[in-house]
Chains A and B, each alone.
Chain A
Amino acid sequence: MSEIIWLFWDQLLKNNIVLISFTAILLIIVETPKLRSAFKNGLIITGAMAFSALSAWIFSYYLGSADFLMPAVYFLNSLIAVKLIKKGGLLQGDWIAGIKHEFLALPAVLSLQFNIIEKVNYNSQDLIIIAAALTAIYLVFIAVAALKEQLDLKENKEIFKKEYTLFLVLAFLSAVMSGFDFL
């Protein structure tokens, strides 16, 4: 049991940059208006990502001999995941420069699948790795929403509209998640 907890904790803290940075994009696009709604929004996003990650895990096991097919499978998984997030009432409308919100979730979901498949060994521990990755995404989502709400309230203006604040918060969060390994 302790081994499982250790693996979960290790994977939770040592998820790489791609998960954090692409979750950042999701945070930007969903805009996390209030902490209260962020709990639900986070669940919708994490749920769709869980679908794509599990689906990629299963398909990569059965289609292991046809590696060239995998990018197409990941892409289709991502499209379904984006559709699921949209059904949850998120990713509506346009973002900037003619880009639709729904498009911005695509690389996030794709990168999660690539990241997961790089780590798995096709045994029971894989589920712990997937669960840890999804927990990390959910926690970052909630943490940034909480910080955003607090900072916006204190400053009495929408400080998070300044992208630098978001980068700073994400730098801090990814430092925490990497366990300050660089020190």
Chain B
Amino acid sequence: MNSNLSLVNKISLLGLFALLAGTGNGILFALIFTLTLSFTALIIKFIYLTYESFFSQKTGKIILWALGFAISYFLYNLLPPIFGSQAVHFNYYFILIGVTPLVYAELNNKSFSNFIINHVLFLDLMLAVSLLRELLGEGSILNYQLFSKTPLSIASEAPGAFLIVGIVAFIYEIIIKKLNLENKLKKEADIELESEVKA
């Protein structure tokens, strides 16, 4: 794969499972999906950084994957009763949150600013994709029906998921390039890293 991926491309590829599977059931479920993923990623990062010498080895990595999978399986059993009507959407895609590449991205990077940037961008992407898929595929937003006829029913199906993810990632990339956000973020991350080194 291209090693010079932009930040948006990187996040959309790392979180592709979630972007495809977690956005087909409305914005609210996408939000639950994203927060669960970020929560799992935070726990995994914390565990990794605490016992870095063990988890950076091959056996440790496999155990870390198993831990991630176990966390998402635990949440898959715990969360449905809490979210009531959203419970119908909790299927096996949800268990796969624990093995989403985004959870394990840049684990050895001790700077939490990069982690936050990645997950905020991922949240943005998830919300944008789910909003478009719900609006175009179901004609509604947050289950409030706006159109009597669905404007583009393909959006709620599998082919539409790929199309919408591609379109949203493309638009985000244009916006980020226009505002020169990527360079600003890199500079901010560098400054924070320098201050951490000095401290």
Contacts and interface: CB of A to CB of B under 8 A. Distances in A.
A54 interface: no
A81 B169 CA distance: 32
Interface string A1-34: 0000000000000001110111011001101000
B159 A16 contact: no
B111 interface: no
A10 B85 CA distance: 31
B105 A99 contact: yes
Nearest to A95: B1
A96 B10 contact: yes
Given A79-B62, A96-B10, A114-B95, A21 B20 contact: yes
A71 B69 contact: yes
A60 to B, nearest CB: 13
Given A97-B105, A175-B154, A107 B17 contact: yes
B101 A114 contact: no
A182 interface: yes
B69 A75 contact: yes
Interface residues of A, number: 44
Nearest to B17: A107
Contacts, number: 124
Interface in B94-153: 95-96, 99-101, 104-109, 153
Interface string A100-131: 10011011001100110010000000000000
A96 B159 contact: no
Nearest to B137: A182
Interface in B5-46: 5, 9-10, 12-14, 16-17, 20-21, 24
A40 interface: no
B2 interface: yes
B37 to A, nearest CB: 12
Contact of A182 (B16, B62, B95, B154): B154
B55 interface: no
A135 B164 CA distance: 27
Contacts of A171: 159-160, 162-163, 166
The 4 closest A-B pairs by CB, nearest first: A167-B166, A17-B158, A97-B105, A171-B162
Interface of B: 1-3, 5, 9-10, 12-14, 16-17, 20-21, 24, 61-62, 65-66, 69-70, 73, 92-93, 95-96, 99-101, 104-109, 153-154, 156-163, 165-166, 169-170
Given A96-B10, A164-B169, A182-B159, 20 more contacts: A17-B158, A17-B161, A71-B95, A75-B65, A75-B69, A96-B13, A97-B101, A98-B106, A98-B108, A99-B14, A110-B69, A111-B92, A114-B96, A115-B92, A118-B92, A163-B12, A175-B154, A178-B157, A181-B157, A182-B160
